[in-house]
């Protein structure tokens, strides 16, 4: 079975003290993860080392950065390099979130550069893709997402692709309270896997974890995660509430 992942994206939220308390609360609540499951916490950059310390020695709990830059080092004030992440033991990074694409104009080709430098440094990208409302309403979401995959990932060989986690996020369902139905989520996840299969073959495509990101909550996680091509979630608002996120963790496929 593909790895099942509950990824928390804290975005630009919480003070250091609030973040510490949230992690302590999550650790203290009953949760059951096995070797095929993982909870990943994408925390703001100033809290990466704190999160590393809090989760050290905790089975199946990992830390992710919310972004990194496409260059190894240099005069890029305010950016974070993969070497910096590696040096503090962070080996996941969220790339291409819809907010980065929209607010910071990150292109598919720019994200391809970020993917490359992560893989060269043994950092696992959680690569986000997904369509805005107007694309969904036009019924062209499959083609839209296929282009994102093609322009950011298809230069990779199969072995490299196996080191990627994909997160499908219907942009119209992020922070809106709207959620794609479990059938809609499955339909898009299956379409993404089919796209990967057409390029890399069925065996490779079947090994890629694809997460759903769009207003996942404790109350709907199990219904979404049970879908055959959904391998967990990239969770925003609900990841800021300990009880909610633990319920999501516990909803992962066994």
Q: Which residues are catalytic?
A: 97, 169
Whole-number Å distance between alpha carbons of 186 and 230: 6
First to last CA, the chain: 9
Nearest alpha carbon to residue 127 among 62, 196, 71: 196
For residues 64 and 212, what is the distance between their CA atoms, to the nearest angstrom? 17
């Amino acid at each position: 079975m593909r790895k099942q992942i509950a990824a928390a994206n804290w975005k630009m939220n919480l003070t250091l003290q609030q973040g510490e308390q949230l992690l302590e609360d999550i650790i203290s609540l009953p949760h059951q993860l096995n070797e095929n499951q993982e909870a990943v916490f994408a925390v703001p950059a100033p809290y990466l080392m704190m999160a590393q310390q809090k989760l050290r020695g905790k089975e199946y709990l990992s830390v992710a950065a919310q972004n990194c830059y496409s260059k190894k080092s240099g005069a890029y004030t305010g950016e974070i390099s993969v070497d910096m992440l590696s040096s503090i033991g962070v080996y996941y990074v969220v790339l291409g979130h819809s907010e980065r694409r929209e607010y910071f104009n990150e292109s598919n080709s720019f994200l391809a550069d970020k993917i490359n430098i992560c893989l060269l440094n043994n950092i696992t990208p959680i690569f986000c893709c997904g369509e805005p409302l107007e694309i969904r309403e036009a019924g062209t979401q499959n083609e839209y997402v296929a282009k994102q995959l093609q322009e950011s990932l298809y230069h990779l060989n199969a072995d490299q692709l196996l080191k990627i986690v994909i997160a499908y996020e219907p942009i119209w369902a992020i922070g809106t309270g709207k959620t794609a139905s479990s059938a809609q989520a499955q339909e898009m996840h299956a379409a993404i896997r089919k796209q990967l299969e057409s390029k890399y073959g069925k065996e490779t495509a079947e090994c890629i974890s694809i997460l759903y990101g769009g207003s996942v909550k404790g109350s709907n996680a199990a219904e979404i995660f049970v879908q055959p091509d959904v391998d967990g979630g990239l969770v925003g608002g609900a990841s800021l509430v300990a009880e909610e996120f633990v319920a999501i963790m516990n909803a992962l496929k066994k």
